[in-house]
Structure 1
Amino acid sequence: MATPDLEAVHSAREATGSAAWRFAADLLAHADVRLNGTREWDMRIHDPHVPERVLALGNLGLGEAYMDGQWDCDRLDEFFARVLRSHLDERIDPARLVFHALKARLMNRQTTRRAWKVGQKHYDIGNAFYEAMLDRRMTYTCGYWSGGAKTLDEAQEAKLDMICRKLGLQPGMRLLDIGCGWGSLMQFAAERYGVSCVGVTISKEQAALGAERCQGLPVEFRLEDYRLLDEKFDRIASVGMFEHVGPKNYRTYMEVAQRCLADDGIFLLHTIGKNRRETTPDAWIDKYIFPNGELPTIGQIADASGGLFVTEDLHNFGADYDRTLMAWHANFEAAWPRFEAQMGERFYRMWRYYLLSCAGAFRARDIQLWQWVFAKQGLRGGYRRPALG
């Protein structure tokens, strides 16, 4: 994008929205971000109406303005880390976004009919695209870097092995993977731990490629909603799916896991989470990336699991998601020339904004990554988390 004519931009600014510009500049100053500054994390404004658009529509306006090429930033990840760490959202009148907030709180946006939307909009955009962005096993969740991993492949293998060890997998066990993606966990568990696996997903593309990648292994993919499950398994894992369940369905989700888990079994839940219960879903993420998604809090998960499970362990390694997202972004940028003609500039800006804004959110510790270990009645003698490195 060409460098803006700053004189023209400033003139138009004063004519059309100087009050909004001043308010935005003052607000961003709390995060040490400048409008038309020269540092990597500063905003470069190409359209003088950007401040008004953002103040009117919040995160949705900010993201759409970026997709439309109305502003740029060399380090979006650092821009968002600074903005979120400074809690600028608390300085804007929430009444501006009241409709979105009410819709999120009053509606069940994750009904059995609506649940398939995220598969169609996000996960079914093309397997080749995800193969280029992800690790060799196509693991679309946070890697575990804290044990000394140096590459994305190593971080994802470390995470998969950690899950298998937390579950105490043994040869001959039967594992259910709720929201199995392309089957990376099932493939790893079958190969390394000798278990048979059943995975459910709402993505046709994931199920098709996953079955192909797991040929010859005791792994079954099912294209179905988790609420239909009703059979017993020795172990259950759910990695990066709970974010699509929605608060009105948390209890139902836990009831499904409880009825499907053997009495002496272990259930591991791996999910992104938020710090405060009263916040609403990000309107831009909801519209363009994960329709109908919503992050849970620790309290909501505890409420939903109460009386059904004993919480044996809770592990937060959300800081590792920053590095995972930056690795995905590097792969995405390197592979983009292969997809540019098919997907176009607006998709490129959307996807770049998605990956880097999320990296910034984890860097700011605005959102977390938790692994919960549950048992029905509590494990006799207690649970011992395996050494993680």
Structure 2
Amino acid sequence: MSEETAGTDNKLDKYSSVPHGTAKEVPSWLEHLLSSTGITVNGSNPWDPQIHDHRFYRRVLQEGSLGAGESYMDGWWDCARLDEFFTRLMSRHLEKEITGKWVAVKHWMMARLVNLQSVSRAFQVGEQHYDVGNDLYQAMLDPTMCYSCGYWHQAQDLHQAQRQKLDLVCRKMDLQPGDRVLDIGCGWGSFAEFAARQYQASVTGVTISKEQQKLATDRCEGLPVDIRLQDYRSLQGQFDKLVSIGMFEHVGQKNYDTYFQKARELMEDEGIFVLHTIGKMESRLGTDPWIHKYIFPNGAIPSLAQISKACEPYFVVEDVHNFGPDYDHTLMGWLDNFRAAWPQLKHQYNERFYRMWTYYLQCCAGAFRSRNLQLFQVVLRKPGSGLSRYHSPR
């Protein structure tokens, strides 16, 4: 037995016999871990966690982030400002200390040995996350129905930020009237509708969510837009421009080469591809166990190095734009909308779902606020195309 494992076992033994309903004594290891963050367990600040059930400590030691998230869903602890709690935790990279090593190793092994985003598994995230209910997303999102980071440069509210993001993408791809555009991961049709209405483009959008396809088709009725329930790997044809907003996080490292090869195949030689994706700081396999189980099954956040290496055989990187802090503002806007709509939504979703969803939004906000996560927009072109220099419109 290693010293590390033995140390964890000793901590577990200490709390194995504590009555379930007590939460008075704070473990010294946790106090030490949080000492540099300004977080005090059962403290008076809004970012201080309030522990209601002493089993919380053992659960976190055993299961890491999965145990922390599930115990929050179970009501074992609360925190008035979870977003700030996670910001402080992640700013010191302390989430790595309580990841739950055996759980993390399992997810690393799965990502390394199994293609979690294979064609046969591609629709799982649609069924679990995006099909949870259009009523939820219509209440939480702004009228564009963008479920991705807004662009808050000069924006005063969430709706303006999302419209600015959509317009920025259109300008980055030099969108012209009549352009044939492929939207890989079209969501509820936000980009397709905007590009068709504002730029008179013809858009083909693909999604792996039945509910997204249904609502996107309704929203784009009467426009030159075709919304398909289809995996990107089965696409055929040629397009002038390509865009993918908030979908690349579901592709997975084992499929990056296939993804970029397919994108090159589908794009005309003089085309432009704008890739909008969340990015992480390090090129690691696996994902957070709680996020994987409850929010985005089979997700895989890429690093900029992974994106660059994967697209290298197929594209020239013309521009990279990081506006990760804008995702913090976007997530908090969604949180405000969700909480305001909860009196109407709670008849269809239970209290455990409410705790899960607010935990998810604030955990992610903290990740972007601490700069642990980024938001990249990458402009790609085929080698040898566009002899004139590309000019970013931002």
Q: How does the TM-score come out when normalised to structure 1?
A: 0.93
Q: 1:261 aligns with which of 261, 267, 271?
A: 267
Contact 1:21 1:52 in 2 (8 A): no
Contact 1:244 1:292 in 2 (8 A): yes
Q: Equivalents in 2 of 1:309, 1:134: separation in Å?
A: 33
- Alpha-carbon shift at residue 94 of structure 1 (Å): 6.3
Alpha-carbon displacement from aligned partner over 1:262-281 (angstroms, at most 9, x marks no partner): 00000000000100112530
Q: 1:302 aligns with which of 294, 308, 320?
A: 308
5 Å-filtered alignment, 1:193-204, equals 193-204=199-210
Is the counterpart of residue 136 in structure 1 residue 114 in structure 2?
A: no
Alpha-carbon displacement from aligned partner over 1:166-196 (angstroms, at most 9, x marks no partner): 0001111100000000111010000011110
> In structure 2, the residue corresponding to 1:235 is in which secondary structure?
strand
Contact 1:40 1:74 in 2 (8 A): yes
5 Å-filtered alignment, 1:85-104, equals 85-92=91-98, 95-97=101-103, 98-104=105-111
Q: Equivalents in 2 of 1:93, 1:289: separation in Å?
A: 17
> In structure 1, the residue corresponding to 2:355 is in which secondary structure?
helix
Alpha-carbon displacement from aligned partner over 1:120-170 (angstroms, at most 9, x marks no partner): 000001111111100101000000002x10011100000000000000011
- The corresponding residue for 1:321 is 327
Letter in 2 for 1:58: G
Q: Equivalents in 2 of 1:311, 1:182: separation in Å?
A: 28
- Alpha-carbon shift at residue 260 of structure 1 (Å): 0.3
- Alpha-carbon shift at residue 16 of structure 1 (Å): 9.2
- Alpha-carbon shift at residue 113 of structure 1 (Å): 1.1
> In structure 1, the residue corresponding to 2:27 is in which secondary structure?
helix
> In structure 2, the residue corresponding to 1:113 is in which secondary structure?
helix
Q: 1:116 aligns with which of 93, 98, 123?
A: 123
Alpha-carbon displacement from aligned partner over 1:19-72 (angstroms, at most 9, x marks no partner): 982212211222221111110000100001111111211110110010000000
Contact 1:176 1:197 in 2 (8 A): yes
Is the counterpart of residue 346 in structure 1 residue 352 in structure 2?
A: yes
Pick which of 370-379 and 36-45 moved more: 370-379
- The corresponding residue for 1:272 is 278
Alpha-carbon displacement from aligned partner over 1:262-317 (angstroms, at most 9, x marks no partner): 00000000000100112530000000000000100111111110120000000000
Pick which of 276-285 and 258-267 moved more: 276-285
Q: Equivalents in 1 of 2:169, 2:296: separation in Å?
A: 25
> In structure 2, the residue corresponding to 1:77 is in which secondary structure?
helix
Is the counterpart of residue 359 in structure 1 residue 380 in structure 2?
A: no
- The corresponding residue for 1:145 is 152
- Alpha-carbon shift at residue 350 of structure 1 (Å): 0.1
- The corresponding residue for 1:176 is 182
Alpha-carbon displacement from aligned partner over 1:100-120 (angstroms, at most 9, x marks no partner): 221122211001111100000
Contact 2:203 2:224 in 1 (8 A): yes
- The corresponding residue for 1:221 is 227
> In structure 2, the residue corresponding to 1:159 is in which secondary structure?
helix
Q: Equivalents in 2 of 1:284, 1:80: separation in Å?
A: 14
> In structure 2, the residue corresponding to 1:343 is in which secondary structure?
coil
Contact 1:227 1:256 in 2 (8 A): yes
Letter in 2 for 1:116: F
> In structure 1, the residue corresponding to 2:282 is in which secondary structure?
coil
Q: 1:284 aligns with which of 283, 290, 293?
A: 290
Q: Equivalents in 2 of 1:81, 1:27: separation in Å?
A: 15
Q: Equivalents in 1 of 2:293, 2:214: separation in Å?
A: 26
> In structure 2, the residue corresponding to 1:271 is in which secondary structure?
strand
Q: Equivalents in 1 of 2:137, 2:96: separation in Å?
A: 35
Q: Equivalents in 2 of 1:137, 1:225: separation in Å?
A: 23
Letter in 1 for 2:64: G
> In structure 2, the residue corresponding to 1:369 is in which secondary structure?
strand
- The corresponding residue for 2:8 is none
5 Å-filtered alignment, 1:40-59, equals 40-59=46-65
- Alpha-carbon shift at residue 76 of structure 1 (Å): 0.3
Taking every aligned residue pair, what percent have the same amino acid on both sides?
Answer: 53
Q: Equivalents in 1 of 2:321, 2:198: separation in Å?
A: 23
> In structure 1, the residue corresponding to 2:183 is in which secondary structure?
strand
How many pairs align? 377
* Unmatched runs of 5 consecutive residues or more in structure 1: 1-8
Letter in 1 for 2:114: M
- The corresponding residue for 1:34 is 40
* Unmatched runs of 5 consecutive residues or more in structure 2: 1-14
> In structure 2, the residue corresponding to 1:61 is in which secondary structure?
helix
Q: Equivalents in 2 of 1:62, 1:15: separation in Å?
A: 17
Is the counterpart of residue 105 in structure 1 residue 112 in structure 2?
A: yes
